[in-house]
Amino acid sequence: MLRELYCRNSSDPSYNPKQLVTNSALEGLLTKIRMIIFTKTGEILGVPELGLNLEEHLFELNANTSQIKRAFYDQLAAYAPEAGRFNVEIDVNFQPGEVRDICFIDIYIDGTKLLGVLAK
């Protein structure tokens, strides 16, 4: 049976303050997706390739959605094998901001948006 640490943020509407671990494959996948998105490459000791390195992609002058999507799917294949049990899709959109561009990243699992990230 799969057991993962429960890693939802307290501001998440589905947050359960009494839960420490989960045995849900979906919850485990979401935890790994958060780890991939919010980790810089090289930050995790023993797994130097883990991490989307989103900040690097965002500040490239020619960053594009396909680059970020490809990097995400590569990380997902390498570090979240249970993703094969679900239909995981990423939607990346850039919009011009007043000072700098804004990047919206939405993660859909089996057609339902389960995670959204605003990066600027």
Write out pLDDT tens, residues 85-101: 999 999 998 887 777 77
pLDDT tens readout for residues 18-30: 665 666 778 888 8
Tell me what percent of the residues of the chain surpass a pLDDT of 90. 32
How many CB atoms lie under 10 A from the CB of residue 22? 19
Distances (CA, A) of 72 to 45, 59, 81: 20, 17, 13
Write down the CATH number for the domain with range 4-85.
3.10.450.40
Residues 6+ apart with CB under 8 A from 56: 40, 41
**Exposed/middle/buried for 52, CB within 10 Å: 0-12, 13-18, 19+?**
buried
User: Is the Cβ–Cβ distance between 91 and 105 less than 8 Å?
Assistant: yes
| Total-model pTM | 0.79
Would you state the pLDDT for residue 1? 45
Residue 120, pLDDT above cutoff 80: no
Report residue 36's pLDDT band, with 50, 70 and 90 as the boundaries.
very high
Would you state the pLDDT for residue 82? 87
